[in-house]
Amino acid sequence: MRFVWIPLIFVITSCATTPSYQYIQGGETVDQPGVSLVLPEGRMWVAMMRSTYVAAFGASGMPNNETLIVGTRVYNAPPSTNKQEFLEAIKKIELLGQKLDASK
């Protein structure tokens, strides 16, 4: 019975790993496909989520246990000639995304 416990303990402990976060110093440039941004200075930021079109960064250590969040989203919008056309295209993309999320 002793031989069964050793492999079982090994399997359980090998699955428990510490997550690795990417830390970025405020003021540094962060490059994502389609966009570059500079995170606000004065604190260390952690990448909470990074994918091809979406990124979210957080910084803690604020008064009252608050957390600052910086989020970006890259859209593949059609060319527009003015500000109003651009805003309407983004609204349509957002509404379509919400409908797709609701259907999941």
Q: Is the pLDDT of residue 16 over 50?
A: yes
pLDDT of amino acid 29: 92
Per DSSP, the residues of 7-56 read HHHHHHHHH------EEEETT-EEEETTEEEEPPSSSEEEEEEE-SSEEE
The answer to whether the predicted template modeling score (pTM) of the entire model surpasses 0.75 is no
Q: What pLDDT, on the 0 to 100 scale, is given for residue 27?
A: 92
> How does pLDDT run across 58-93, given as a tens digit for each residue?
987 777 778 888 888 877 777 878 999 888 888 888
Q: What is the pLDDT of residue 32?
A: 82
